[in-house]
């Protein structure tokens, strides 16, 4: 697979050692500020990757736990409690239940009426019909209470059956849930072991890239400090108030568009910058600019372009890093079968990545800047 080349964008011409150009000077400051932005962002990304890899992960925050929750069986609710009834309640019901009172009361009334009618008809006191009516009313009251007892007892038995089914279901669900929990927990542990193993394989290369970034970042910062502290005829080439990616990008835009041809003076970049700053055109915070890249206007367009260019290069560095990671993982899979080819692949990964070439190019560019501007120093 061919190497992807990540290039450092530079100005067309370097300032000559015998002369000083404010335009070229601003272009080179602009280049240094962008490289610091890129290198710091890339270093932060790699440090976050290491932090995420070594940080213990919580099972309950993982996709495996979500799968467990998806399979989780919830307990059923128990049915509303129903009281039982004994056969004695049939007899107690005859005495205490209101329905029985009505039946027995009606039986007594009918017995009294029947006795009167019979006495009138046969002109003699006969209590047998009344007794029969009372007995019948007792039997009816007994039958009614027995019916109530029967259905109440049947409902209670049904309730017991439902309770048993719920208990059995909940018990089975608990066992199922415990089994699935253990299963997904083990899958999570296997995944973590695999992730750590993969990270330990690529960690040396990540650390090596961080070391290279820090080396070049230190170089760029030293170079930038050299440029910022540059004096011509005892005068600072750039006032300290205008240091940083935003002011340098804005001033670079002034020179690039021809709005300004010098820093000082009534029509100089300093004056125009302060005027636009007072009018609220210039945004001083990178975080705010990054969120409004599509809405930037006027002088801030060059700041947006600088950030977009940096982000594009960062994407290339990230893609190259992922390609290297894939190569490391592929190498580890075949390590047991092709030991002889491993050292060659290791050498390839260490010395031939586009990222390493990019960082080396940055270092070379800074060395050129240092050489040129050291000749211009007072």
Q: What is the pLDDT of residues 138-167, one digit of tens each?
A: 777 666 666 666 667 677 778 788 888 989
- Average pLDDT in the chain: 79
Q: Does the pLDDT of residue 124 top 60, yes or no?
A: no
Dist. CA 367–CA 261, nearest whole Å: 27
DSSP secondary structure letters along 281-308: -S---HHHHHHTGGG--TTHHHHHHHHH
Q: Does the pLDDT of residue 182 top 90, yes or no?
A: yes
For the ranges 81-90, 249-258, 285-294, the lowest mean pLDDT is seen at 81-90
Dist. CA 259–CA 245, nearest whole Å: 19
pLDDT tens, 211-241? 999 999 999 999 999 999 999 888 899 999 9
Q: Would you state the pLDDT for residue 63? A: 94
* The total number of residues written for the chain in this structure: 378
Query: Once rounded to an integer, what is the mean pLDDT over residues 309-324?
Result: 88
Give CA separation, 82 vs 77, 88, 169, in Å: 15, 18, 20
Q: Does the pLDDT of residue 176 top 90, yes or no?
A: yes
Query: Once rounded to an integer, what is the mean pLDDT over residues 298-312?
Result: 85
Percentage of the chain beyond pLDDT 90 is 38
3-state secondary structure 106-165: HHHHHHHHHHHHHHHHHCCCCCHHHHHHHHHHHHHHHHHHHHHHHHHHHHHHHHHHHHHH
Q: Does the pLDDT of residue 34 top 90, yes or no?
A: yes
Q: Is the Cβ–Cβ distance between 76 and 169 less than 8 Å?
A: yes
Phi and psi at 231, nearest 5°, equal -120, 135
Q: Would you state the pLDDT for residue 16? A: 39
For the ranges 13-17, 23-27, 149-153, 329-333, the maximum mean pLDDT occurs at 23-27
pLDDT tens, 335-376? 544 544 444 455 445 544 788 889 999 999 999 999 998 888
**3-state secondary structure at position 94:** helix
For the ranges 34-43, 167-176, 336-345, the lowest mean pLDDT is seen at 336-345
Query: Once rounded to an integer, what is the mean pLDDT over residues 243-254?
Result: 93
- Tokens 């109440």 belong to residue: 152
DSSP secondary structure letters along 231-280: EETTEESS-GGG-SHHHHHHHHHHHHHTS-S-SSSTTSHHHHHHHHHHTT
How many other CB atoms are there within 10 angstroms of residue 205's CB atom? 19
Q: Is the Cβ–Cβ distance between 57 and 192 less than 8 Å?
A: yes
Dist. CA 347–CA 360, nearest whole Å: 17
Percentage of the chain beyond pLDDT 70 is 68
Query: Once rounded to an integer, what is the mean pLDDT over residues 271-286?
Result: 85
Q: Would you state the pLDDT for residue 279? A: 87
Tokens linked to 50: 């290491």
Query: Once rounded to an integer, what is the mean pLDDT over residues 33-38?
Result: 95
For the ranges 40-49, 68-77, 369-378, the lowest mean pLDDT is seen at 369-378
For the ranges 7-16, 64-73, 253-262, 265-274, the lowest mean pLDDT is seen at 7-16
Widest Cα–Cα separation across the chain: 157
Task: Fill in the DSSP letter of residue 59.
Answer: G
Give CA separation, 376 vs 18, 234, 290, in Å: 7, 12, 35
Tokens linked to 153: 């007892």
| H or E element in which residue 311 lies | helix 300-333
Q: Bridge partners of 236?
A: 231
Residue 39 pLDDT level (bands cut at 50, 70, 90): very high
Q: pTM of the full predicted structure?
A: 0.68
For the ranges 115-129, 253-267, 312-326, 360-374, the lowest mean pLDDT is seen at 115-129
Task: Tell me which of 201 and 170 has the higher pLDDT.
Answer: 170
Q: Would you state the pLDDT for residue 185? A: 95
Dist. CA 78–CA 175, nearest whole Å: 18
Dist. CA 41–CA 287, nearest whole Å: 13
Phi and psi at 87, nearest 5°, equal -65, -30
Give the domain ranges of the chain.
22-56+192-376, 88-185
Q: Would you state the pLDDT for residue 264? A: 92
């Amino acid at each position: 697979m061919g190497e992807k080349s990540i290039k450092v964008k530079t100005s067309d011409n370097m300032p000559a050692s015998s002369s000083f150009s404010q335009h070229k000077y601003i272009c080179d400051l602009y280049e240094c500020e962008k490289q610091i932005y890129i290198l710091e962002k890339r270093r932060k990304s790699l440090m976050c990757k290491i932090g995420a890899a070594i940080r213990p992960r919580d099972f309950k925050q993982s996709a495996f736990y979500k799968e467990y929750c998806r399979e989780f069986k919830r307990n059923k609710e128990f049915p509303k409690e129903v009281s039982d009834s004994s056969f004695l309640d049939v007899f107690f019901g005859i005495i205490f239940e209101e329905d029985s009172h009505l039946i027995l009361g009606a039986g007594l009334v009918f017995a009294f009426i029947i006795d009167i009618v019979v006495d009138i008809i046969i002109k003699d006191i006969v209590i047998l019909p009344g007794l029969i009516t009372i007995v019948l009313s007792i039997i009816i009251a007994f039958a009614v209470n027995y019916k109530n007892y029967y259905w109440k007892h049947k409902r209670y038995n049904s309730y017991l059956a439902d309770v048993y089914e719920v208990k059995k279901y909940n018990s089975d669900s608990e066992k199922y849930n415990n089994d699935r929990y253990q299963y997904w927990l083990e899958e999570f542990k296997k995944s973590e072991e695999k992730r750590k193993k993969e990270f330990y394989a690529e960690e040396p290369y990540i650390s090596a890239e961080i070391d290279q970034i820090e080396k070049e970042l230190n170089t760029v910062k030293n170079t930038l400090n050299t440029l910022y502290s540059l004096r011509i005829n005892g005068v600072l080439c750039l006032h300290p108030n205008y240091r940083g990616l935003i002011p340098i990008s804005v001033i670079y835009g002034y020179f690039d568009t021809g709005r300004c041809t010098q820093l000082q003076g009534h029509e100089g970049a300093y004056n125009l910058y302060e005027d636009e700053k007072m009018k609220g055109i210039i945004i001083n915070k990178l975080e705010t600019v990054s969120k409004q890249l599509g809405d930037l206007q006027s002088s801030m367009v060059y700041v947006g372009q600088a950030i977009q260019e940096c982000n594009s290069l960062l994407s290339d560095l990230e893609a190259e890093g992922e390609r290297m990671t894939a190569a490391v993982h592929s190498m580890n899979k075949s390590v047991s079968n092709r030991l002889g080819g491993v050292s060659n692949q290791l050498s390839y990964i260490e010395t031939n990545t586009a990222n390493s070439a990019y960082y080396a190019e940055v270092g070379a560019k800074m060395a050129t800047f240092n050489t040129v501007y050291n000749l211009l120093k007072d």
